[in-house]
Structure 1
Amino acid sequence: MGVVRIGQTEVVYELRRSAAASERRITVTPGLVEVLALTTDDDAKIDNFLNRKRQWLFNALRELETATAKRAVVPRFMTGSKIPYRGRMARLTVRRHDGPHIDISYQNGFLVDLPSWVREKDQDGVVAAEIKLWLKRRVRRDVIAFARTYQRRFALKPRTIRVADMKTGWGACGPTGSILINWRLVFAPKAVMEYVVAHELAHLSIRSHGAEFWALMATLMPDYARSKNWLDRNQSSLDAEVFTSKQPVDKAT
């Protein structure tokens, strides 16, 4: 644990060192500020980095407070509720039927056919769990499709690619070429999800975020800047409390 003072406020952070990291980074999430340092960094280098990022950290914490107050909340999973999906709020319709299974479909909104054996008092929890599972499966399908496209066009082949519930970040490319994608990207427009997949695939060739990396990104996805800017502006609002209370808000490098 460490402490950085911003005006009269003391911000407690967790320090993590990584041999795989090529640059220092600060990640701000609800209840946690994490500082990623290089294994070669001494205390003076870390303090200097934090001093340079003091204003950024102050702004990120204030933005988090605002976003937490405004982020999407689904109070009830019933007909008329709104579910965040692909950058907008989609209407939910719940119907009862006599079949044995729970069926979910999407066409201009979510339609959940709920068996009559599901008790009324259990409806919210059952529908929430089933929609979350549906969303995760949709993300996996999309991520695999994007990865195959870039592998075919640019010969960028990860060792593995997996969708998971990440505590921090939207994606990661491990030192062995394994890629991890945050399932909550299902709440962003599809092009934003594609950007994150392309971003992590680009790290198979270039590990840092220098000019060479962004030149490669421009080759992979010429309009990547539009999706990157959308994510920078909206990432703090991508979470619905009913699914999770932890949401990455921003990073500084």
Structure 2
Amino acid sequence: MGQHHLPGNPPIPLILRRSAQARRISLRVSSLDGRVTLTLPRRVPEHEALAFAAEKESWLRRHLARQEAPVAVAPGTTLPVEGKPRQIVARPQRGIRLFADQVEVPDRAPATRLAAWLRELARDRLSEACDRHAAALGLPYSRITLRDTRSRWGSCTEAGALMFSWRLIMAPPEILDYVAAHEVAHLAEMNHSPAFWAVVNRLYGDYAPARAWLRSDGNALHRYRFTD
């Protein structure tokens, strides 16, 4: 197990992972950082898995070529806030101010402070949306937490705890609202049955465009790196 490379120009690093649950060999290319994970069942030899990866070399290189480069958030960077591109401008100030086409940030630790501000803005927007949808549904949720999740935009537990990715604040408002409605709908239906989607439709309306946006554009929100 561990790190291997698929030969070529350039070589492709592979992370081999053995899984007791896996029934077949599989390849996964991370949409966030381009890491390639080769998963194999418990009793499959490594050489067999590496041969499988070699057969998929053309597919792997096509996917890796489409990866978007990470964006370091800094003064001068253009960052989407509520779906609108805003240029980051550093000022000798303490707070953060949002304008139509730019966001002013402190000139000390601008990326760290901007990330904290975006989390709070996300909390405000998501709390408002969840309150509205929960009231329409007639079912309360217990709490809202925000994380920087990579595999999902939101979740709902049996106890009614809602979790969201704070990066939703970079998406258009209707996308954030859809994810809020989606998770609130789980308060009534803890599944993805037709009954669940009927609740989503009742709370939000036609959700197909929002789901399509998340599939086509959602991953781009993860490429922004907030480090000073």
What is the aligned partner in structure 1 of residue 99 from structure 2? 107
Gaps of 5+ in 2: 2-11, 22-27, 43-57
What is the CA deviation profile of residues 44-92 of structure 1, one whole-angstrom value per residue up to 9, with x for unaligned ones? Answer: xxxxxxxxxxxxxx989955652333x5x136x22x3312322342112
1:160 and 2:143 matched? yes
Give the letter for the 1:230 counterpart. W
Q: Distance in 2 between matches of 1:159 and 1:59?
A: 44
Residue equivalent to 1:83 = 79
**Aligned counterparts, 1:210-229, within 5 A:** 210-229=193-212
> Hey, what's the Cα distance between the residues in 1 that align with 2:135 and 2:38?
36
Does 2:183 match 1:200?
Answer: yes
Which is worse superposed, 221-230 or 234-243? 234-243
Q: Which residue of 1 aligns with 2:90?
A: 94
CA contact (8 A) 1:139 1:185 kept: yes
How many residues align? The count is 192
Measured after TM superposition, the shift of residue 211 of structure 1 is 1.5
Higher relative contact order (CA 8 A, sep 6+): 1
Q: 1:136 to 1:16 in 2, by over 3 A?
A: farther
For structure 1, the residue ranges without an aligned partner over 5 or more in a row are 2-8, 18-25, 36-42, 44-57, 115-122, 245-253
Equivalent position SS for 1:68: coil
Equivalent residue letter for 1:92: I
1:222 CA displacement: 0.8
User: Are 1:171 and 2:154 matched, yes or no?
Assistant: yes
Query: In 1, distance between residues paired with 2:225 and 2:156?
Result: 28
Identity %: 25
Deviations 1:196-236 (A, max 9, x none): 11111111111221222111111111122221111111112
Give the equivalent residue in structure 1 for 2:213.
Answer: 230
For the aligned residue pairs, the C-alpha RMSD in angstroms reads 3.4
CA contact (8 A) 2:15 2:36 kept: no
- 1:103 is paired with a residue of what secondary structure? coil
Question: SS of the residue aligned with 1:199?
Answer: helix
Q: What is the TM-score of this pair, normalised by structure 1? A: 0.64
Letter in 2 for 1:149: R
Q: Which amino acid aligns with 2:72?
A: V
The answer on 1:181 being equivalent to 2:164 is yes
Helix, strand or coil at the partner of 1:193 = helix
State TM-score, norm by structure 2: 0.70
**1:117-168 CA distance string (max 9 Å, x none):** xxxxxx4xx0001110110000000010001111222213112111122242
1:74 corresponds in structure 2 to 72
- Cα 1:64–1:212 change in 2 (3 A) is farther
Paired with 1:34 and 1:202, the residues of 2 have a C-alpha distance of 35
Report the alpha carbon displacement of residue 241 of structure 1 after superposing the two structures with TM. Answer: 3.6
